Amino acid sequence: MKKILISCTYYLPNISGVTVYVDILAKKLAQKGHKVSILTCRYKNNLTKDKEIDGMKIHRSKKLFSVGKGVFMPMFWWNSLRHVRSNEIIIANLPQLESIWLGIWSKIFGKKFVIIHHCEFNFTGRLVNILTSLVSYPIHLLTYAMADKIVSYTKDYADTSIFLKYFSKKIVYILPPVVLGKEKIVGFVGRIAWEKGIDHLVEVVSKIDKVKLILVGPYKQVVGDNSFSKLKKLIDGNKNVILWGPVDHSDLVNFYKIFDCLVLPSTNNLETFGIVQAEAMISGCPVVASDLPGVRMPIRMTGLGEITKIGDGADLAKKIKEVTKTKYDKNMFDKARGIFGIEKFIEAWQKCIN
């Protein structure tokens, strides 16, 4: 089995085609017994520098600044040196200017260097695109030249590439991965506290086949709550539960898009509505919520989910199964956007203050 380093500019929780490709490839290689590490950008300060997920080691190089989707990581050269030395096969996802360091270190230390060609900049379009192409072209060309293998999706695309036409003998054609998820993803967004019913949710998900739970939200030093030590005992060692922790509010939409349903299992009336329900519905995600006054209203107003009995684990499991198996009509989500859209909120306030 091999020690494999995969480099990409962005990795989860960012969602993109390249991110999904890398995530699938890395997890499948790990399942085959390979030791997989991912070297990526620490594009948000709240992302941990080093982390282990599903047996894979995630290493993040700090971003100093960004230009569009491009990032500048001043210590990437050093981070890549350390990780290239400790791995056997280096896989770079291009376009990525920093990959030139992976190529250099791979040649110096005799490592196998493989490039995945996802797309490329070309010399057309707006002036900024042309300037980006002029700057990146020689760096990427040299990186391709150092590769032992270049993976392209199709020959049809490779034949039109401004890079790949020079390296036809290195090219391997591999179609991108298509995975129809057998596992359902259930999500919770909010303070990870006892009165939110997290204990019921964790226990319930543990008993449902092919369901994973992602807990998104603050759990350390939560004001007015000291119950996390109890919850941690339930979460630790449970492979079906991922404690993601806090994220920027702007990143929540990425989670709503991968959740098969959002669950709000609150057990008391300190929860009066649960705005995360509206956010999820607007993002295309149905909801399971407790039968509490106010909390049950988003589902009643839209039909996008199921209302569960308060603190009833069996009913919660039943409703999660129902929602994750139901295909909701697109028009229902459009209706939710109309009900909860910011324009309607502002209109109501304008009317109120007038």
Q: What is the DSSP string of 213-227?
A: EEEES--SS-TT---
Nearest to 116, CA basis, from 151, 148, 84, 149: 151
- pLDDT given for residue 192 in this prediction: 83
Residue 150 vs residues 33, 102, 117: alpha-carbon distances, Å: 23, 14, 7
Residues whose CB is less than 8 angstroms from the CB of residue 266 and which lie 6 or more positions away in sequence, other chains included = 195, 196, 197, 274, 289, 290, 292, 295
Give the residue, 118 or 6, on which the prediction is more confident.
6
Q: What are phi and psi of 204, to 5 degrees?
A: -65, -50
What CA–CA distance (Å, rounded) separates 61 from 190?
28
Per DSSP bridges, beta strands 89-94 and 35-42 are: unpaired
- pLDDT given for residue 187 in this prediction: 95
List the structure tokens of 276.
């995360």
Tens of pLDDT along 163-221? Answer: 898 999 999 999 887 665 678 999 999 888 777 888 889 989 988 988 999 999 888 75
Give the residue, 8 or 135, on which the prediction is more confident.
8
Q: Write down the architecture of domain 184-339 according to CATH.
A: 3-Layer(aba) Sandwich (3.40)
Tens of pLDDT along 122-164? Answer: 666 666 667 777 878 899 999 999 999 999 988 888 888 888 9
- pLDDT given for residue 86 in this prediction: 95
Tens of pLDDT along 76-119? Answer: 999 999 999 999 999 999 999 999 999 999 999 999 999 999 88
What CA–CA distance (Å, rounded) separates 21 from 43?
19
Specify the CATH number of the domain 3-173.
3.40.50.2000
Q: Which amino acid is residue 211, in one-letter code?
A: V
Mean pLDDT of 310-329: 94
Domain 3-173 and domain 184-339, same fold? Reply is yes
- pLDDT given for residue 92 in this prediction: 97
- pLDDT given for residue 20 in this prediction: 84
Domain regions of the chain by residue span: 3-173, 184-339
In 291-350, which ranges are E strands? 305-308
Distance of CA 223 to the CA centre of its chain: 28
Cβ atoms of residues 121 and 71 within 8 Å:
no
Element (H, E) at 283: none
- pLDDT given for residue 55 in this prediction: 83
- pLDDT given for residue 250 in this prediction: 79
- pLDDT given for residue 17 in this prediction: 79
Nearest to 102, CA basis, from 29, 170, 38, 21: 38
Nearest to 295, CA basis, from 264, 259, 332: 264
By mean pLDDT, which of 22-36, 196-210, 317-331, 339-353 is the weakest? 339-353
- pLDDT given for residue 299 in this prediction: 96
Name the DSSP class of 146: H
Is a pLDDT exceeding 60 seen at residue 222? no
What CA–CA distance (Å, rounded) separates 202 from 213?
8
Tens of pLDDT along 257-305? Answer: 899 999 999 988 777 888 899 999 999 999 999 999 889 999 999 999 9
Tens of pLDDT along 20-74? Answer: 889 989 998 998 899 999 999 998 888 888 988 878 999 999 988 877 677 889 9
In the chain, which ranges are E strands? 3-7, 35-42, 50-53, 56-62, 65-67, 70-72, 89-94, 112-117, 149-152, 171-173, 184-189, 211-216, 241-245, 261-264, 287-290, 305-308
Tens of pLDDT along 230-267? Answer: 778 888 768 788 888 888 887 888 889 899 999 999 98
- pLDDT given for residue 225 in this prediction: 54
